[in-house]
Structure 1
Amino acid sequence: MCTDDVCEFTLVVRQARTMTYTGSDGKVNGIEILKNGSLQDKYSLSQGDMDGPIVPVEETITADGVQRNVILVNDQFPGPTLEVMEGAQVVLTVVNKLYREATSLHFHGMYMRGVPYMDGVPYVTQCPILPMHSFTYRFKAEPAGTHWYHSHTGSQKEDGLYGAFIVHKNGIPTTPSLPMFLQDWWHDDFNTIDVDSAFMEHRGPGRFYIPWQNRGFSFDGNELTALNFKSALINGRGRYNNNSAPLTRFEISSGETLRFRLIHAGAEYTFRVSIDAHSMTVVANDGHDVEPVQVQSILVFPGESYDFEVVGDPFNSGTYWIRAQTLWAGKGPDVEPEDRLQEVRAILAYDNAPTDEDPNSAMQTCTENSPCRVLNCPFPAFPAGSNMECIYVSDLNSTEEYSLSDESENEEYFFNFGYQIGSSVNGRKFATPKQPLIFKAPYDITPCEATCETDGCTCTYTAEIPLGKTIRFVLMNLGFGSGGHHVIHLHGYDFRVLAMGFPEYNETTGRWISENADINCGNDNKCGMPSSWNVARPNLNYNRPPTRDTVVIPSRGYTVIEFRSNNPGFWLFHCHQTTHMNEGMSMIIAEALDKLPALPYGFPTCGDFTGTEKPPGGGSGEATTDASKGQSSVTLVELEQIQLIIIIVVSAALSATIAVLAVVVYNGRVNKSKKEKLETPPAAPKSLEDTVIMED
């Protein structure tokens, strides 16, 4: 933990293989999981693998026990946890040692106020960091809370490039805390899955994707994802196909309060997190404090975080399962029942509990007298008789007050996240700029034409908002192309969650019947811009509504959020489900572009090169070569105008100085010559020839 005013870090990013061990001699060997869970080094020799010694679990990257590529940060997976105090100046250098990939780093939840070019989004706020290069991020650590850092380039986050970024508010906390990273996991790197996708701009065969009728669905009749579930990890560990790979172990003492910082760093699946025989008291969401709420489990979507506390029971001992299960209820849109469990586990262990045995605890049984309370439901209710109660995220109360602004200060915008033309926002798939928007106009983007509103398109979709207003976003998942819950993250701000609207549903089964009718989607039922409320706007909660930076939009429903526009910049606004974002469910929120701060001197640039570029003062802009000397001279096109002016002025001053010195030296020599002539009498001529003046 850094408690200084300035905190400096270096993160080295590189690739490695899971299920390997590096010996003291630097040699890397594969490892094998024995039946008792031990890890054995396997020496690779010409005659085949040879059994080696048992190796320490903490010195290996096992993932789920299957070998594949992984991205490490400072040789760790997940990356190291960074802890600073609120208001500290962070100086963090990323060193890219990936073999062939550029990278970047986004600090999820940080405002980046005054330094929007440090937000870490390639081609929006910076050029990506090239292999074997580095980039230093400098920003103020705010707000306080549980946050995290992750790559925003390609799908590197899904392959391991992430870690916790904790900002403490009032000194060192007294309650011990531990990050708990959750993610789904495949046995191919996610870039391979992107290339394989049949939904990307350049379509692949889709071998990782499941036909519609065979996909997993939750009980409410909504698709989980098009991707086949393979495995999952908690803090980088899990088990594939019931193998004996080591699991993450969290230690607790009787009577101790332990704070878990739960962060979903994964790509696709929503997980329900619970701990056998223990309740969970939620005290924060996305790093912002809430009034404590006791629950049996939490539904966590990709990009979200929750802080919850667990108290060590004085009467408990031994070990207990920590479970994270997907919302799988059946196959296909008819939710055909199928006995399938998709989960990952970790272990909560009390003092002196055995380290070589798995827990034998059972998940809590939900009864009528003791129902299970579940936080963050994206649906109206669980099926009748399940004895499970929903707590919506909009029902949480912040610990900080929030006042209703004057309506004249409000700006309201409607954004529909859906599949009108595939993953899109208001029918527009996002086209990445060719050079960072932060470089200002002229922008190298794909413009959104007028026909995008009716026909859909692929463009660099941007919505400009004014400075110093209360901005209200109505986030919709309605109309043609709706279906599936979306989890949306806004860079550069946090916001208050004022309302959530759900579809009509069958109270017996919990399945949706018809979409929410509060919003008028127009005659074409596309729910783009402009949309409007059908009648009066529903009641918005201004009684300490929760503060977040990532929120769920219920399928066939909506979520209303509100924030103050106080941060000029270009801010990405996107679905945090990886396939949706990569396919185009993103846009830019641009605030007060005339107030953008200047870029630091030497800020890296990028863009296309055609060979036809001209220098600012005209000319060919070509480099010239002196063939006789084998040397090349660079034209002034590489120099900035201010640099040219300085060079010209200095050169002129030097020339004038040299000229003055030359005149002084010349005059001095002339005066000396005249003096010598006056002081020396002329000699008598020796002959007539001595008096003749010789002509030149």
Structure 2
Amino acid sequence: MFGFKLFLLLQGVVSALCATLTYNWDIDWVPVSPDGFPRVAVGINGKWPCPQIDVNVGDRVIVNIVNNLGNETTTIHFHGIFQTGSNQMDGPAQATQCPIAPGSSFQYDFVINQTGTYWYHAHVGGQYIDGLRGPIIVHDPRSPFLGLYEEEVTFTVTDWYHTQAPYLIDFFESPLNNEIHGGSEPVPNATLINEAQNVKFPIKPNGTYLFHIINMAAFAGIYVQFDQHELTVVGIDGVYTTPRKVSQVFLATAQRYSVIVQAKPNANQNFAITTSMDLSMFDPSVTPPNLNNNATAWLVYDSAKPLPVAPSFQYLDSALNDKVFTPYDQEGPLGPVTHPISLTMGFTSNEANQNRAIFNNVTYIPQKVPSLYTALSAPADQVSNPVIYGVNSNAFVLPYNAIVEITLSNTDNGPHPFHLHSHQFQVIARSDPTADDTLLTPPTNVVPPATPMRRDTVLVNGGGYVILRFKADNPGVALFHCHIEWHVEAGLTATFIEAPEQLQALGLVIPQSHKATCAKLGIPITGNAAGNTKNWTDLTGAFTTPPLNDWGALVNPPSSKGKYRYARRRSSRVIRDLE
């Protein structure tokens, strides 16, 4: 524990020498039409796309939030940022904080001591589907690749829906969807590049550029290819990698790549950049008939010359094999394993025929008390008891400095991108794609790679397994979940209660703005999952049944134009149109 406190002390010393960046954000509804279809999105300070956060390693970031949405709560998760010593700033609702109530103010305050490409997004009610998302770029003056590029460029890819998220979440989980479409996920209407289409990137002959490529989609994995330009991968999910040249990259939802692009020696022509969604998980019965699977941007060497038509897109199997990327620091496999965890994931229908996702036959349901607040308020003799966090929190207590090995078996026939908060993990082994479930169980003689790929979001193939390792050296509450937002809302989440005794010893302070929004929403900030502070193993009143708003197969509500009114229906947060 002394080593961890020393780390925090040194972190504070470094931070004192760095900048403090303050962002004041009013979160509100903004009319948008990035693909020509008018609707509203969740924007910041009256604008959308949401702003980029640019920091240097060691900078302190303060984000002051005012929720002006009126009919929705909100939160922000800073994806991939470890929040070492600041777990209360991680962002997922009812895990590390209460949702931010309409009309409430809230402050995030933390230091970033990582490098590379990250992003932020809402972490409540599927809200980032509706636009609350943006890049985080951490610049590193000591990057080993600093001399290899002259400029940095942000390149985001997203899927885009014409229908607002609450309708689509209810459609996905509704009994009617189960009956008609077998529980199929809503399929997007369009692909966006930098939250737009037909984007142009100015390029100088012989220039060198570091592109930060981020998949901020809710569902779709997306391929990216620069016509007649090689991509030199130097980072994945914030981890520097040994440089490797490729012609195409594939990004599962929430993944990031840092790639260096060498420009052509002359400005004789311009070149297309093509992005293409992976169609393998889209059910044709719910796929929009006018879906444009591809989006095109351009490397513009000469604005007076024509923009070429994008070449026919060829999907490369090699783009799916991210295990070829090894960390630049050549870190070997962690071991020996001291805390194995086995997870089997799949989908089921509950008694209401509602479509739900499960880990080890348990569907995640947020509890009455945020899990972090339970960990901070529990008596010492109960804080490491997983029972107090609620059956449906899928809680696993991790001892401090344990070498944790997760073996995840995917019984679904589709691939799933799994993300771990607060850490990057090593990918020890992963099965290849298969047409059946013959690869659900890994062999007993798995030999780790000499330098395992390390990242924070990994794609697990359908009908197969993945083995991940990390060290439990960051006390707090860390979620482990599929990053397909429909599956998050359906309960495909586990909660890691990491080193709870050491967490209590840190003396984390819950800021007043955090407490105020809890009070406004009537959410207790002490007690077990049910809010019980007397008998910590008494879970009477804990949430065990997910809410059900059966709006059936409504997937095309009125278009978003003109004035808006608030629609309040149980837990809905939809803005509907006045015709």
State the TM-score, normalizing by the size of structure 2. 0.76
* Residues in 2 aligned to 1:65 and 1:112: alpha-carbon distance in whole angstroms: 38
Matches within 5 A, 1:475-490: 475-478=408-411, 482-490=412-420
- 1:195 and 1:204 in contact (8 A); partners too: no
Q: 2:479 is matched with which residue?
A: 572
Tell me the CA shift for residue 255 of structure 1: 0.9
Aligned to 2:340: 412
Q: Which structure 2 residues correspond to residues 532-547 of structure 1 after superposition, within 5 A?
A: 536-541=444-449, 543-547=450-454
1:97 to 47, 68, 74: 68
Q: 1:556 to 1:364 in 2, by over 3 A?
A: closer
- Does residue 163 of structure 1 match 2:134? yes
Change (3 A) 1:588 1:332: closer
Number of aligned residue pairs: give it. Answer: 481
The one-letter code of the counterpart of 2:223 is: R
- Specify whether residues 205 and 358 from structure 1 end up closer, same or farther in structure 2 by C-alpha distance, changes over 3 A only: farther
Query: What's 1:463 paired with?
Result: 396
Determine the structure 2 residue equivalent to 1:182.
Answer: 157
Matched, 1:401 2:330: yes
Measured at CA, do residues 132 and 187 of structure 1 come closer, stay the same or move farther in structure 2, by a change above 3 Å? same
Distance 2:175 2:281 in 1: 27
Instruction: Identify if the C-alpha distance between structure 1 residues 12 and 406 changes in structure 2 by more than 3 Å, giving closer, same or farther.
Output: same
Q: Identity of paired residues, percent? A: 25
The Cα shift of 1:347 comes to: 2.0
1: distance between equivalents of 2:188 and 2:303?
A: 36
Residue 262 of structure 1 corresponds to: 213
Change (3 A) 1:204 1:537: same
The alpha carbon displacement at 1:588 in A equals 0.4
Deviations 1:576-609 (A, max 9, x none): 0011110110110111112223324534134648
Residues 99 and 275 from structure 1, CA distance in 2 versus in 1: closer, same or farther, beyond 3 angstroms?
A: same
Q: Which residue of 27, 31, 36 maps to 1:13?
A: 27
Deviation (angstroms), 1:287: 1.4
How do 1:147-546 residues align onto structure 2 when only pairs under 5 Å count? 147-170=118-141, 175-197=150-172, 199=173, 203=174, 205-206=176-177, 211=181, 226-238=185-197, 247-315=198-266, 317-328=268-279, 342-354=293-305, 358-363=307-312, 374-375=318-319, 377=320, 392-407=321-336, 410-421=338-349, 422-440=356-374, 459-478=392-411, 482-503=412-433, 512=435, 515-516=438-439, 519=441, 536-541=444-449, 543-546=450-453
2:57 is matched with which residue?
86
Whether the 8 Å CA contact 1:503–1:514 is kept in 2: the answer is: no
1:184-205 C-alpha deviation (Å, 9 max, x unpaired)? 11111112211333x2xxx365
Distance of aligned partners of 1:570 and 1:319 in 2 relative to their CA distance in 1, 3 Å threshold: same
Matching residue's letter, 1:568: P
Q: Kindly indicate whether the alpha-carbon contact (under 8 Å) linking 1:85 and 1:171 is maintained by their aligned counterparts in 2.
A: no
Amino acid at match of 1:211: H
SS in 1 for 2:81: coil
Q: Is the 8 A contact 1:272 1:326 kept in 2?
A: yes
> Residue deviations 1:480-515, cap 9 Å, x none?
xx21101001111111112111255xxxxxxx2552
Identify if the C-alpha distance between structure 1 residues 545 and 91 changes in structure 2 by more than 3 Å, giving closer, same or farther.
same
Whichever residue aligns with residue 170 of structure 2, its letter is: V
Which structure would you say has the larger RCO, counting Cα contacts within 8 Å and 6 or more residues apart? 2
Aligned residue for 1:652?
A: none
Q: Which consecutive unaligned segments of at least 5 residues does structure 1 have?
A: 19-61, 216-224, 239-246, 367-371, 378-391, 450-456, 505-511, 520-532, 611-615, 617-696
1:72–1:79 contact (8 Å) kept in structure 2: yes
- Deviation string, structure 1 residues 270-326 (Cα, Å, up to 9, x no partner): 111112222222111111111122222111111111111221112553332221112
Question: C-alpha distance in 2, partners of 1:563/1:364?
Answer: 37
- Identify if the C-alpha distance between structure 1 residues 116 and 609 changes in structure 2 by more than 3 Å, giving closer, same or farther: closer
Note the residue ranges of structure 2 that are not aligned, 5 or more in a row.
Answer: 1-16, 350-355, 379-384, 525-532, 534-579
Q: What CA distance in whole angstroms lies between the structure 1 residues aligned with 2:39 and 2:290?
A: 29
Aligned-residue Cα RMSD (Å) equals: 3.2
3-state SS in 1 of match to 2:279: coil
- Could you say what secondary structure the match of 2:166 adopts? helix
For residues 204 and 186 of structure 1, what CA distance do their matches in structure 2 show?
22
**CA offsets per residue over residues 132-184 of structure 1, 9 Å max, x none?**
22211111102211111111121221111111111122269553112111111
The secondary structure found in structure 2 opposite 1:195 is helix
CA contact (8 A) 2:65 2:107 kept: yes
Deviation at 1:227, TM superposition (A): 2.1
Contact 1:182 1:263 in 2 (8 A): yes
Within a 5 Å distance, the mapping from 1:14-33 to structure 2 comes to 14-18=28-32
> Per-residue CA shift, 1:370-427, capped at 9, x if unaligned?
xx5732x2xxxxxxxxxxxxxx2222111012234552x5321111222255412122
The CA distance in 2 between the partners of 1:80 and 1:163, in whole Å, is 6
The aligned counterpart of 1:599 is 509
Distance 2:276 2:98 in 1: 38
CA pair 180-186 structure 1, distance change in 2 beyond 3 A: same
Change (3 A) 1:563 1:448: closer
1:558 & 1:79 partners in 2: Cα distance? 36
- State the secondary structure of the residue aligned to 2:406: strand
Distance 2:490 2:340 in 1: 27
Secondary structure of the residue aligned to 1:439 is helix
For residue 555 of structure 1, report the CA deviation from its aligned partner. 0.9
SS in 2 for 1:63: coil
Instruction: Please tell me the residue identity of whatever aligns with 1:516.
Output: L
Partner SS for 2:75: coil
Residue pair 1:502, 1:556 contacting (<8 A) in 2 also: no
